[in-house]
């Protein structure tokens, strides 16, 4: 089998590239990168085997040529630089052609660092949970205060209608993903993000396909923290014991936040009113004032508190920060209400790690305390389809009244005995007194929801994927005459 043997000496950007080609251009981050590069004046082309909306439409509207499939001839025009997406493997025909032609190449995180972070004050939000929401809160609040940043974030930020932006301002907000970079650069993406300051929300075991254990994850986060300069700052959720352990070795200033009185920044007197929250902000033992956030849940308020702490460190006034947070419109796929039909509310959320599932459901229970909470869960990530979290999942659905679990698509890389079992989770939840059932496919789940749902119910759909269009299909189904 042919594989790409890339020359490490070519893993750099040439001085003045004109034409840049992206392999795997229809990925969310890669499409955003293509748009940003075009905005900077480069001629941009790309290829992908998954050329379909919304990314194909997005790129077509920009006039960016997207070639269907992966073929060596796509590189015959000899672009001055090739950006290789995380989806690309050594056996990809274009990766093989890239090696044979000896063209310069970068990964997407390397390209972000080279073209957009150099010379900027890079504000990186890292952690197992809350990265997308926190970085979106940070970018939106800076924008509201007149300091519109550049950004690249893993979700569509409602204030901008996109997940990436180029700005002439001094700040660039980056969602710091710990997943690996590319087949030729097996380090966490955030190692390329040149942090001036960072927020660290949490550190837990995740990404079982690339990290052997928690210690391996901690080592990557420790390396990232070591990249923050001595005159920078790490805003750390120090009530997380792993975060506290890592922060203790930081060479920069550490600003702790949380609920405990020992934290420099503390959240107090949390009140939730529907989909909005309000809390008191305490700084160094002194009350600064109130913060209103149009999101429910303690975890979301802690994310907002981290943003307050960082922006205060950067010199922004508390009143301006909280006004910006109060105007936050949200992020697609994060506790997003997709529609209400016949009194039934359908919510879309990205949560898949056990901790994220628990915190999301706790927040929604606070928002709808008197309503029946029906949860639909699709185990879709590499970690959630492994047995590694099987037992943890049994303890995170306590806030749900009913749980419907889709059977996962099996992984080819590991034996079935080492994979997650939806029927086993349903059985374990029933043993805890929870109404739960597993289903072979999405159609079966929709049929069950049609029989079950009644006015006042809140249906929460948890998946990091499209889930076969279940959200719109359910709303359509519920809207049909009985």
Question: What are the DSSP calls for 71-128, one per residue?
Answer: -GGGGTT--SEEEE-TT--TT-HHHHHHHHHT--EEEHHHHHIIIIITTSEEEEEESS
> How much is the average pLDDT of 126-136?
90
Which pLDDT tens digit goes with each residue over 361-385?
888 888 888 899 999 999 887 777 7
Percent of all residues in the chain with a pLDDT value above 90, rounded to a whole number = 63
Q: How far is CA 353 from each of CA 157, 170, 203, 349, rounded to the nearest angstrom?
A: 22, 34, 12, 12
Closest alpha carbon to 173 in 189, 194, 149 = 149
What local confidence, expressed as pLDDT, does residue 330 receive?
A: 64
What local confidence, expressed as pLDDT, does residue 331 receive?
A: 63
Peptide bond connecting 62 to the previous residue in cis, omega within 30 degrees of 0: no
Q: How far is CA 475 from each of CA 341, 413, 431, 471, 479, rounded to the nearest angstrom?
A: 7, 36, 31, 6, 6
Report all structural domains of the chain as residue ranges with CATH numbers, in order of start: 8-107 (3.40.50.720), 119-326 (3.40.1190.10), 336-479 (3.90.190.20)
**Encoding tokens for residue 238?**
């120090």
What 8-state DSSP symbol labels residue 9? G
Q: Return the residue matching tokens 């759909």.
A: 461
- What is the residue-averaged pLDDT of the chain? 90
Residues in the chain: 482
Closest alpha carbon to 37 in 7, 72, 95, 79 = 79
> How much is the average pLDDT of 126-139?
91
Rounded CA-CA distance 448/351 in Å is 22
Task: Determine if the pTM surpasses 0.85.
Answer: no
Rounded CA-CA distance 467/357 in Å is 16
* 482, pLDDT greater than 60: no
| Residue 213 burial by Cβ neighbours in a 10 Å radius (0-12, 13-18, 19+) | exposed
């Amino acid at each position: 089998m042919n594989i790409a043997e890339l020359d490490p000496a070519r893993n750099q950007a040439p001085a003045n590239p004109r034409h840049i080609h992206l392999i795997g251009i229809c990925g969310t981050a890669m499409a955003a990168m293509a748009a940003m590069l075009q905005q900077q004046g480069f001629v941009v082309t790309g290829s992908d085997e998954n050329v379909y909306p919304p990314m194909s439409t997005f790129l077509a509207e920009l006039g960016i040529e997207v070639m269907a499939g992966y073929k060596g001839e796509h590189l015959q025009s000899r672009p001055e630089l090739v950006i290789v997406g995380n989806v690309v493997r050594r056996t990809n025909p274009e990766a093989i052609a890239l090696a044979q032609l000896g063209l310069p190449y970068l990964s997407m995180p390397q390209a972000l660092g080279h073209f957009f972070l150099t010379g900027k004050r890079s504000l990186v939000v890292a952690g197992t949970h809350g990265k997308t929401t926190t970085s979106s809160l940070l970018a939106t609040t800076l924008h509201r205060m007149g300091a519109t940043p550049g950004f690249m974030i893993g979700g569509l930020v409602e204030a901008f209608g996109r997940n990436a932006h180029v700005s002439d301002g001094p700040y660039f907000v980056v969602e710091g993903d710990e997943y690996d970079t590319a087949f030729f650069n097996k380090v966490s993406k955030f190692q390329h993000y040149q942090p001036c300051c960072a927020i660290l929300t949490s550190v837990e075991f995740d990404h079982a396909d690339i990290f052997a254990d928690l210690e391996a994850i901690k080592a990557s986060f420790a390396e990232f923290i070591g990249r923050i300069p001595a005159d920078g700052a790490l805003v750390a959720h120090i009530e997380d014991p792993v975060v506290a352990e890592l922060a203790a070795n930081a060479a920069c200033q550490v600003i702790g936040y949380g609920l405990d009185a020992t934290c420099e920044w503390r959240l107090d007197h949390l009140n939730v009113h529907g989909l909005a929250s309000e809390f008191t902000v305490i700084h160094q033992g002194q009350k600064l004032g109130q913060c209103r956030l149009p999101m429910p849940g303690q975890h979301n308020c802690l994310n907002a508190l981290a943003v307050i702490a960082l922006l205060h460190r950067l010199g922004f006034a508390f009143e301006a920060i909280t006004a910006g947070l109060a105007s936050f419109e949200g992020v697609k796929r994060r506790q997003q209400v997709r529609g209400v039909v016949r009194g039934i509310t359908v919510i879309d959320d990205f949560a898949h790690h056990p901790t994220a599932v628990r915190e999301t459901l706790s927040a929604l229970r606070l928002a709808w305390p008197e309503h029946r909470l029906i949860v639909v869960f699709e185990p879709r990530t590499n970690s959630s389809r492994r047995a590694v979290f099987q037992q943890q999942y049994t303890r995170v659905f306590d806030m749900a009244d009913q749980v419907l679990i889709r059977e996962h698509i099996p992984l080819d890389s590991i034996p079935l005995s080492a994979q997650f079992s939806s029927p086993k989770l349903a059985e374990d939840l029933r043993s805890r007194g929870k109404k739960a059932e597993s289903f072979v496919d999405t159609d079966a789940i929709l049929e069950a929801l049609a029989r079950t749902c009644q006015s006042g119910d809140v249906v929460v759909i948890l998946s990091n994927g499209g889930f076969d269009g279940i959200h719109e299909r359910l709303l359509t189904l519920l809207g049909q005459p009985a």
